[in-house]
Amino acid sequence: MVFRRALRYGLLIAFAVVFIYPFLLSLGTSFKSRPEVATSSVSPWPRSFDLRAWTDVLVHSDFPLWTFNSIVVTVAATLGRVFIDSLAGYALARLNFRGRGVLFAGIISVLAVPPIVLTVPRFLVLKELSLLNSYTGLILPLAVDAMGIFLMRQFFVELPRELEEAARIDGASIFQAYWHVVLPLARPALLTLTILSFQGVWNEFLMPLIVVRASPSHWTLPFGLSTLGRGGAGGQSFDYPVMMAGSILTIIPVAIVFVIFQRYFVRSVASSGVKG
Amino acid sequence: MSRIHGRQGLAGWLFMSPAIIGLGVFMVAPIALALWVSFRDWSGLTPLGASEPAGAANYADLLTDSSVVRGDFAKSLRNNLYYVLGVVPAQTFLAFLLALVVNARLLKGRTFFRTAFYFPSVTSSIAVAFIFIFLFSPTGVVNTVLSAVLPGKVDLVWLDDSDGLLHLLLRAVGVDAAPGALRGEFMDLSWWDWLSGPSVALSSVMILATWTTTGTFMLMFLAGLQNVPEELEEAASIDGASPRQRFFRITLPLLKPTLFLVLTLGIIGTWQVFDQVYAMTSGGPQKTTLTPAYLIYREGFQNSAMGRAAAIAFVVLVIILVFTGVQRLVLRKER
């Protein structure tokens, strides 16, 4: 028994190192000088703190601009998702109207379309709407998300009906009951949706690549990051400290949200796992 | 009562309208439009209306007509096939193993371990790809650790090494070139090259992918394990079932829906690998990390062949449907 327990903890600690050490190493590397990186690439502790990479990223690149763009796009797309998904989820779960079944089936089938298949199609539509190289073109497609509608519907299906029916009997309109009674009860689900959306949009790479590639003033963090520290071809001339500083800065906001709201992340994955 | 249920028809459509417009404009219409474009010759630079009809030429370029493009498409299929066959079993097995260990009773630090394993899943794909470029650099951690563990110095240039793993294995036993039987070609790629295995460069991307996705699937298995009623396991052990029997007769069958979900999501995800390839290798070396997803980007946005890119997208869609369908059949048969 003692042996088995030692084995178990050994395994867990080994994997924890495998999953966490790369982040610590990249943090440490961002404070190293390039010559030091060339000779010492394993220790997370820099021999002397060199702030060159950080000033390169924060002062001599467009990183602040990319961060600003990312915040704009993430906030706008997330607000859009929360608004659209909660309304639609509520209608699908609670309101009786003709066509509901068809709409729900439609949303499930849209959910099954792999995003990569949408690369060319979305470019086409945004081009036809003259929305390429604009915030709007970046935000609108990300604000629509079938997964969120599905999540909200599942939540509303399980919510007890009594309170909103009481409100309706007291004379509230459907929208008033929704706004004043249902939404406050839906806070946990809305928070989950917000967090998932924040994480997804913040990390989104494909959309900025297709939509704003030609307009550097609209680049978001992941796309801007992908251009950092890559002097010349062949991989020998990568500026690792700069790449690591940029990576760490891009990860930090999600890491903070993740640590604070960990259980919401876990719950959302777990529920998708159970309900499948 | 009628006061409560009245006017729901109007309200329902009003509540749904933002979603219907959004999904219609950015999901449904695009797919229809792209299907149309896949039968046209369009550069993506001129107005869409000015494109010429191309019949099935875009699909023929990929599947039936001998050309460089078909060769590249064949390579991308080969690469992604090895990628799926490597990553899906690895991430599923590791996720399951970690879930079993983390789920053990009386475990100290469960939350910490769960968080640590899941954290890579929520981070930016580009940031993580950069970190792995560094780990796999010639003087990086991976080579250093391997040099310490293995006899001799390991100085692989991981991301620039196009040798296939199966080819390397065969070379080790003295087979250096294609035997006569494998000189033939299929889709402009020799049988010998179809059987190369993933290149060293692609293997690095596969390790990265396994590292990032394992945590998510572990959480799914954990949720599944929590649905296994404790009474059932206790009853079985009172009846004299060994831990091994309990695992194979009770835990595993009850986890089948979760396993099904993890495999399905794994297949769907791995057939779409793009960000990591873009950031780490851009399809090279020797096109051994080219994937259909990357080819969509290259043809559509770099080579100005939008019609062809759209055609690739639909072929990928069919592949994903076939793979998930086959997996569904196999798992159902076992039941």
Q: Which residue has the higher pLDDT, A68 or B49?
A: A68
Could you tell me the sign of the dihedral formed by the alpha carbons of B149, B152, B154, B155, in that order? positive
Residue B19 to residue A107, Cβ atoms within 8 A: yes
CA distance to partner chain B, nearest, from residue A157 (Å): 15
**Is residue B40 one of the residues assigned to a domain?**
no
**Is residue B34 one of the residues assigned to a domain?**
no
How would residue B153 be classed by pLDDT, with cut points 50, 70 and 90?
A: confident
Backbone angles phi, psi at B199, to 5 degrees: -70, 165
User: How many CA atoms within 13 Å lie on the side-chain side of A108?
Assistant: 10
Residues of A within 8 A of B283 (CB-CB) are none
**B7, B34, B141: residue with CB nearest A41:** B141
Q: Which of the listed ranges A31-45, A95-109, B46-60, B70-84 does the model predict with the highest average pLDDT? A: B70-84
**Is residue B265 one of the residues assigned to a domain?**
yes
pLDDT of amino acid B183: 79
Chain center to CA of B100: 24
Tokens representing B252 are 């595993």
> Rounded to an integer, what distance in angstroms lies between the CA atom of residue A31 and that of residue A16?
23
Residue B124 to residue A121, Cβ atoms within 8 A: no
pLDDT of amino acid A165: 87
Q: Is the pLDDT of residue B95 over 50?
A: yes
In the block, which residue shows the tokens 């096939």? B81
Residue A248 to residue B127, Cβ atoms within 8 A: yes
Task: Express each pLDDT in B258-292 by its tens digit.
Answer: 999 899 899 989 999 999 999 999 998 999 999 99
Residue A97 to residue B8, Cβ atoms within 8 A: yes
**A25, A95, A123: residue with CB nearest B12:** A95
**A11, A95, A116: residue with CB nearest B293:** A116
Q: Is A4 exposed, middle or buried (0-12, 13-18, 19+ CB in 10 A)?
A: exposed
pLDDT of amino acid A76: 98
> Which domains, ranges and CATH numbers included, belong to chain A?
2-50 (no CATH), 62-230+243-275 (1.10.3720.10)
Task: Express each pLDDT in B2-31 by its tens digit.
Answer: 444 557 888 999 999 999 999 999 999 998
Q: Which domain holds residue B225?
A: 60-334
% helix, strand, coil for chain B, step of 5: 70, 5, 25
pLDDT of amino acid A234: 47
Q: Mean pLDDT in chain B?
A: 90
**Is residue B170 one of the residues assigned to a domain?**
yes
Nearest CA in chain B to A249: B127
CA distance to partner chain B, nearest, from residue A123 (Å): 8
ipTM: 0.93
How would residue B130 be classed by pLDDT, with cut points 50, 70 and 90?
A: very high
**Is residue B312 one of the residues assigned to a domain?**
yes
pLDDT of amino acid A230: 77
pLDDT of amino acid A74: 97
CA distance to partner chain B, nearest, from residue A188 (Å): 19
Backbone angles phi, psi at B52, to 5 degrees: -100, 145
**Is residue B247 one of the residues assigned to a domain?**
yes
B117 touches A15 (CB < 8 A): yes
Residues of A within 8 A of B160 (CB-CB) are 234-235
pLDDT of amino acid A272: 63
- CB atoms < 10 A from the CB of B247, how many? 13
What is the pLDDT averaged over residues A196-201? Answer: 94
CA distance to partner chain A, nearest, from residue B280 (Å): 9
Whether the bond between B285 and the residue before it is cis, its omega within 30 degrees of 0, is: yes
> Rounded to an integer, what distance in angstroms lies between the CA atom of residue A212 and that of residue A215?
5
**Is residue B81 one of the residues assigned to a domain?**
yes
Task: Express each pLDDT in B175-232 by its tens digit.
Answer: 887 777 777 889 889 898 999 999 999 999 999 999 999 999 999 999 999 888 878 8
Angle at B292 between CA B286 and CA B297, to 5 degrees: 90
Interface test with chain A among B134, B157, B161, by most A beta carbons within 10 Å: B134
Q: Which amino acid appears at position B168 of this protein?
A: L
Give the domain CATH number at B98. 1.10.3720.10
Residues of A within 8 A of B111 (CB-CB) are 262
Residues of A within 8 A of B3 (CB-CB) are 168-169
- CB atoms < 10 A from the CB of A50, how many? 18
Residue B131 to residue A234, Cβ atoms within 8 A: no
Which of the residue ranges A21-25, A264-268, B12-16, B317-321 would you say has the lowest mean pLDDT? A264-268
How would residue B120 be classed by pLDDT, with cut points 50, 70 and 90?
A: very high
Task: Express each pLDDT in A110-165 by its tens digit.
Answer: 887 888 888 888 998 999 899 999 999 999 999 988 999 999 999 999 888 888 88
Residue B4 to residue A168, Cβ atoms within 8 A: yes
Backbone angles phi, psi at B330, to 5 degrees: -60, -45
Residue among A114, A54, A110 at smallest CA distance from B315: A114
User: How many CA atoms within 13 Å lie on the side-chain side of B295?
Assistant: 31
**A12, A146, A255: residue with CB nearest B113:** A12
Which of the residue ranges A75-79, A261-265, B69-73 would you say has the lowest mean pLDDT? A261-265
Q: Is the pLDDT of residue B333 over 70?
A: no
B129 touches B275 (CB < 8 A): yes
- DSSP assigned state of B249: I
**Is residue B55 one of the residues assigned to a domain?**
no
Chain center to CA of B306: 24
What is the pLDDT averaged over residues B136-163? Answer: 91
Residue A235 to residue B9, Cβ atoms within 8 A: no
Per the structure, the count of domains in chain B is 1
